[in-house]
Structure 1
Amino acid sequence: MVVDTDADPVSESPRRPGKARAGTDARIMRAALEILRVHGPHRVTVEAVAALSGVAKTTIYRRYANREEILDAALDSQAITPCVPDGLCVYDRMKWTLEQVRRALASDMGMGSVGAVLIDEDPDFTESFREIINARSDVVAGVLRAAVDAGAVRADLDIDTAVSMLVGSYLGAYLRHGEVSESWADGVVHAMCPELEPDAHEH
């Protein structure tokens, strides 16, 4: 059922309209991101978002003038650079960075987005996607540099190539198997730095 969620609220509570609007905004964005993850940017339309979210098109148009604004808002919601948690050993920091790669490609942006970028379906979207991925890749690069400084990996490691290999290993696993094992991050850390162990360093 599609409803106009900006209609007059039944409650007279002054706080209810704000909460209702926030809930509607969240439903719109969840739907837009789900479509983006699965199908790519070309399928993010007002009609598709309305159908999936259950929010009326008239309500969506009060917030977004067109599909491009919805897509921009969806991308902006993912443009958050994660911070490495404190207190992690070298092994766990590297594993954490790999989980950020997994999250960006599988959960946040999705393979629908990756496919669109590979064929450059929408140049503006491709540019925005790369900005998000590169921002997260910078975090990965920082962890690798710290590992080099700590002597955990070889001093002549090419950081940029290593980051590309880490991102590529996820895509390679997905292309070969149709899914990525939960042990993927551990396997990659062992392959890159076989001398590291989860419990070999104090936090």
Structure 2
Amino acid sequence: MHEREAPRPGRPRSAETDRAVLEAALDLFIEGGVEAVKTETVAKRSGVTRATVYRRYPRREDLVIAAVAEAYRAHLEQPAPEHPTLAETVAGIAGALADARVRRVLRRLMSVPHEHPELFAEYRAVTGAPDRDEIIHQVLEKESDCGNFPAHGDLEMVQTLFAASISTHLLTRPDDEPAEQIVAFLYRVLAALGHHQSADDTSKES
């Protein structure tokens, strides 16, 4: 990876090297969790020196967070509507769940809150996870205001169970399930939680 010469001060970092380091770190995270992401192992797998990895990510936590964020990049970089509808939100979740590699990353992430709570807190802050949680809450609240959920329903519990259904899907469904089947699954969950689909949602589901 062209590691023979020390980079000159101010020299731009190689995008190819950045990609190789993050891909190697992500593979190791998927295979063995946070503990498997070690500077020396990442360097060896990506074909760069330990110094190259360390210059970019002095802390293991930084490397893990950057690698996981890289897995979502294709989904996060898509233009997002300012005020997404339920149909758009469900489609976005299904698009991520239809990515086999993202699914494997998410399964590994399930253990991180308990085993590495500080790292998980950093991950949520860096990737904007709390913002996404708030967006989903706003979408569900809007559906409730439109009469698509039972009056006086517990939206906080609806959101909790909806999130739990995503974890269930990750653990029980095949990684190659098409996005349209995942959309149908998510709407079935919402229906079980008392949601009544609008005509717009029904058309987008089909």
For normalisation by structure 1, the TM-score amounts to: 0.69
Task: Provide structure 2 residue ranges, at least 5 long, that are not aligned to the other structure.
Answer: none
Q: Which moved more, 1:181-190 or 1:66-75?
A: 66-75
Alignment partner, residue 116 of structure 2: 122
Q: Give the structure 2 partner of residue 12 of structure 1.
A: none
**Alignment partners' CA distance in 2, 1:76 and 1:191:** 27
Cα distance change of structure 1 residues 156 and 104 upon mapping to structure 2, 3 Å threshold: farther
Q: Distance in 2 between matches of 1:165 and 1:34?
A: 30
Kindly provide the CA deviation profile for residues 87-115 of structure 1, in whole angstroms up to 9, marking residues without a partner as x: 97x55234235337738996184211213
Q: Give, in angstroms, the shift of residue 129 of structure 1.
A: 4.4
CA RMSD of aligned residues (A): 3.8
Q: Which residue number corresponds to residue 93 of structure 2?
A: 98
Which string of whole-angstrom CA distances, capped at 9 and with x for unpartnered residues, describes residues 14-58 of structure 1? xxx63x622212221232233324432111111221133222222
Q: In structure 2, what is the equivalent of residue 137 of structure 1?
A: 133
CA distance in 2, matches of 1:112, 1:98: 18
Work out whether 1:149 is the aligned partner of 2:145.
yes
Q: Does residue 57 of structure 1 match 2:53?
A: no
Q: What is the aligned counterpart of 1:41 among 11, 27, 34?
A: 34
Q: Aligned with 2:93: secondary structure?
A: helix
Structure-2 residue corresponding to 1:176? 172
Q: When the two structures are superposed, what TM-score results if normalisation uses the length of structure 2? A: 0.68
The alignment of Structure 1 onto Structure 2 pairs a total of residues equal to 188
CA contact (8 A) 2:98 2:182 kept: no
* Of 177, 188, 198, the match for 1:190: 188
- Whole-angstrom CA distance in 2 between matches of 1:158 and 1:105: 33
Q: Which amino acid aligns with 2:107?
A: M
Sort the Cα spacing of 1:121 and 1:151 in 2 relative to 1 into closer, same or farther, 3 A.
Answer: same
TM-superposed CA distance for 1:152, in Å, is 2.9
Distance 1:178 1:200 in 2: 26
Does 2:15 correspond to 1:22?
Answer: yes
Match of residue 167 from structure 1: 163
Moved more, 94-103 or 184-193: 94-103
What is the match of residue 154 of structure 2?
Answer: 158
Distance 1:191 1:67, change over 3 A: closer
Distance 1:92 1:76, change over 3 A: closer
Report if the CA contact (8 A) 1:101-1:167 is conserved.
no
In structure 2, the CA distance between the partners of 1:146 and 1:37, relative to structure 1 (3 Å rule), is farther
**CA distance 1:165–1:74, change in 2 (3 Å):** same
**What CA distance in whole angstroms lies between the structure 2 residues aligned with 1:187 and 1:102?**
11
